[in-house]
Chain A
Amino acid sequence: MVGPVAEAGGSQQFESHRPGALATVLFALYLAGYSGFVLVAAFLTFAGGEATGGLAVRVAGGVPVGVVAGLALIVGAFGLALVYAAFGPRPTVDRHATPSTEPRA
């Protein structure tokens, strides 16, 4: 995924840092969920100042969708992070890292 090219306007070579396929898929998945949540809240929940649907719909034993969706976005972020940690590609070697010469913190 990384290939050096002459950098435009700078003095060093360009190094692409595009995320891998899994990271892209997981990010797109979450972005779709988050965007959907925000758009439903903004455009599908109220009409004429009254709650008509969207986040106001009751699910899960009477809990509004807005609460369930919010909790799902929080828990889902951790779930996706775990998937990435378990199945994501190993990060490339950090060429800028320098070994410490001082005692560990």
Chain B
Amino acid sequence: MIYETSPLAVAIFPAFVLAVLGLSFWLGSRAKSAGGYFAAHGQIGWFVNGIAFAGDYLSAASFLGICGMIAFFGYDGFLYSIGYLAGWVVALFVIAEPIKRLGKYTLADALNARFQSRGVKLVAAIATLVISLFYLIPQMVGAGALVKPLLGLPHWAGVVMVGAAVTVIVATAGMVSTTWVQFVKGTLLVVVCTAIVAMILDRGFALPRAPIGAGDVQTLSRGADGVVVNGAPIAPDNQLDSRLREAHGVGFGSIAALPGGVSSTGPLGPLTYLSTFADSTVVTWRRTQGDDGVTTFTPVERKGSDLLLPGANPTFKGVRDDGVAGKLDFISLMLALFLGTASLPHILIRYYTVKDAAAARKSTVVGIGAIGCFYVLTLYLGLGAMTSGALDPTDSNMAAPLLARTFGEGLFAVISAVAFTTVLGTVSGLIMAGAGAVAHDLLKDVLRWELTDREQVRMGKIAAVALGTGAVILGVLFEKMNVTFLVGWAFNIAASANLPALVMLLFWKRTTKQGVIAAIAVGLLSSLGWVLASADTMEKVYGFGAADARAMALVPFSQPAIVTVPLGFVVLVVVSLLTAPRHAQAPAAGV
């Protein structure tokens, strides 16, 4: 779709970004040592750190991706909200305090605390880089999706803007500025989304001017002459939703029938909103791709109650089948979401920015509060977008900003700018994790370069620039992917590579360095290999048709965690037992 550029948005957006960059420069003068650059001197207060957790964690996947998935498929997007938040329980009760006690700057520090092994450092650093890269892709894709409607710029321009801004943030003051950017972003995101949900509830539901029916099929094709919509070249007055708006007063995403036969509900309470939605009939749009290259959007009426159940999205479709593979795929993804959070390097390094384990615990509680609040809001944001009449059926990532636009250009500009700082905050954290892995783990500890404190910081900044450049390239290449789907991969890989080693290191005294190395390597390679050989990847990355993708897939389902996480534990135990030194003493009493 072509989006009209809003002058207000053009004014507000740069102001937000410049304010964030200004904050970064101001704080930049405070961190000169490696301790300051990689861990903010360990002096961030627990409340600020807790909100920064939210700023770090509530990525483009959470804001743009989940809202988009709920808007297009209903409950399936909310499953991500539930899983993402549940992962923090593992972080709080199992990982947070030990990680703080064991580590210094990076996840590899904690994993290597007992061993001083170059091998552990090497595999942990590689795992950090791979996971961060997989997590970076959806953030950059989200940035590209945002600038299209906001500034009228192409996707690649948004990706480059984020890459440049983040490189400045990370290269100026590292973890200090990253923390404050995430704090500001986390606060803004929760506050602005709460305001939008209040407006959604106040607006309630309303029917379109005239019912949308089978005759309202819309077509889109791309040829040598450019984009063609419903048989005519695309133009400001011939957009994909132009005919719908003319005939029905709304675009894509609307209500077909409300309970009691009313035409509008007026303001609704939080529970009444959900029950009213469940009793309504909603117009969704089925997208089909013809052999002639024409994409057809066909209206399909669905019961609201059905949209509040899992299985509408292709990722979760198997949960409705009677076959076992589909159900295992669903369980595997939910397992990855539960275990992945506590294994994400860019989240774990935030435990080093507070002074002690008590502060780590308190900041996790604050983080869970802020993040939980946001994830409750995603349900209303998604359902609000689904019935807003403002969806772009070609881009699910735009659902939340376009929903905001229905409340006015000012809110659209603010929410888009907040979303952009959302991307900045998360990408900054990811690049910090990657830069630490390169400068502190690989160069200093694995390759044993003799680096002074300042040289370590300089190498971290160089690594940050390189990672930022790589992220820009990947963000352009993966433009069409739903960002939540991509983040699901990162969670699978993180849970498989890091969690077995982390948990066994903390709780099993016979864990050896060879066991840790083997578990990380096997978890990383097996989960990565599984993802790359899955039907989802065959279809959505390699571009095969759905039937061909299923036939070519080398694994029975797409989400690997249910296999690869236990595999990591088994490998660690077996290798540790095989490599245990004969002189190991019996444990002392009281352990």
Contact = CB atoms under 8 A, between A and B. Distances in A.
Contacts, number: 245
B42 A100 contact: yes
B368 A63 contact: no
Interface stretch (B395-403, B510-518, B540-548): B510-518
A95 B104 CA distance: 11
A38 B78 CA distance: 13
Interface string A75-104: 101101110110010111111111010111
Contacts of A48: 322
Contact of A102 (B35, B92, B93, B355): B35
B227 interface: no
Contacts of A103: 30, 41
Interface in A40-88: 41-43, 45-49, 51, 55-56, 58, 60-64, 66-67, 70-71, 73-75, 77-78, 80-82, 84-85, 88
Contact of A11 (B115, B271, B361): B115
B163 interface: no
Contacts of B36: 102, 105
B358 interface: yes
Given A3-B588, A62-B279, A56 B305 contact: yes
Given A56-B305, A81-B365, A16 B82 contact: no
A98 B484 CA distance: 38
Q: Top 10 A-B pairs ranked by shortest CB distance? A: A9-B512, A62-B275, A91-B357, A17-B98, A3-B590, A17-B506, A3-B591, A27-B93, A100-B41, A6-B585
Nearest to A80: B89
A8 B581 contact: yes
Size category of the B interface is 35 or more
A56 B355 CA distance: 46
A60 B275 CA distance: 9
Nearest to A64: B308
A61 B316 CA distance: 27
Interface in B8-34: 27, 30-33
B33 A3 contact: no
Interface stretch (B205-213, B372-380, B420-428, B457-465): B372-380
B306 A51 contact: yes
Contact of A56 (B309, B368, B585): B309
A8 B44 CA distance: 35
A73 B309 contact: no
17 contacts: A5-B509, A6-B585, A7-B114, A9-B514, A9-B515, A14-B587, A16-B507, A18-B506, A24-B93, A46-B321, A61-B271, A67-B379, A73-B86, A96-B104, A102-B41, A105-B43, A105-B44
Contacts of B514: 9
B297 interface: no
B130 interface: no
Contact of A5 (B40, B44, B587): B587
Contacts of B591: 2-3, 5, 14, 16
Contacts of A46: 311, 319-322
B579 A9 contact: yes
A97 to B, nearest CB: 5
Contacts of B515: 9
A90 B306 contact: no
A6 B362 CA distance: 32
B356 A97 contact: yes
B42 to A, nearest CB: 6
A82 B78 CA distance: 24
Interface in B571-591: 576, 579-581, 584-591
Contacts of A12: 113-116
Contacts of B79: 41, 70
A70 B81 contact: yes
Contacts of A77: 85-86, 88-89, 368, 372
Interface in A17-44: 17-19, 23-24, 26-27, 30-31, 34, 37-39, 41-43
A36 to B, nearest CB: 12
Interface in B87-121: 88-90, 92-94, 97-98, 100-104, 113-117
B584 A6 contact: yes
A84 B509 contact: no
A31 B93 CA distance: 11
A78 B369 contact: yes
Given A9-B515, A45-B309, A100-B43, 12 more contacts: A3-B588, A7-B114, A9-B580, A45-B310, A63-B275, A64-B308, A67-B379, A70-B81, A75-B376, A77-B85, A91-B356, A96-B113
A17 B95 CA distance: 9
Contacts of B94: 19, 23, 27
Given A71-B376, A84-B93, A8 B576 contact: yes
A47 to B, nearest CB: 7
Contacts of A45: 309-310, 319
Interface stretch (B59-67, B327-335, B519-527): B327-335
Contacts of B308: 64, 66-67
B115 A84 contact: no
B75 interface: yes
A42 B330 contact: yes
B218 to A, nearest CB: 28
Interface in B138-197: 176, 179-180
